[in-house]
Amino acid sequence: MRPVEFVGFTCPWCGEPGETTVDMVSADREWVEDCAVCCAPIVFRRVEAPDAEIPQVEAIREGE
Ligand SMILES: [Zn+2]
């Protein structure tokens, strides 16, 4: 397993596709990043998927 994985997502604010990195070493399961397109804060949550080669991430609006 690589220490960092790139994961695609769709911005929950503007609908634009983007890519984020998941730190596979860190135990953080939730973090916030600003959308590169609309600059709105996106909450990323790692979804438990032990068999998945690429981590599953859900992108939701901050505050919901
Ligand atoms: Zn956006």
Mean predicted confidence (pLDDT) in 47-64: 84
- CA-to-CA dists, residue 9 to 1, 43, 49, 60, angstroms: 20, 11, 16, 10
> Ligand 1 mean position to 24 CA, how many Å?
24
> Ligand 1 mean position to 61 CA, how many Å?
10
> Ligand 1 mean position to 18 CA, how many Å?
8
Question: Which residue segment(s) compose the domain that 17 sits in?
Answer: 4-61
pLDDT tens, 33-44? 999 999 999 999
In degrees rounded to 5, what are phi and psi of residue 61?
-70, 135
DSSP 37: T
Is beta strand 17-23 parallel, antiparallel or unpaired with respect to 30-34? unpaired
pTM of the predicted structure, to 2 decimals: 0.83
In degrees rounded to 5, what are phi and psi of residue 59?
-110, 120
> Ligand 1 mean position to 53 CA, how many Å?
26
Number of domains into which the chain is organized: 1
> Ligand 1 mean position to 6 CA, how many Å?
17
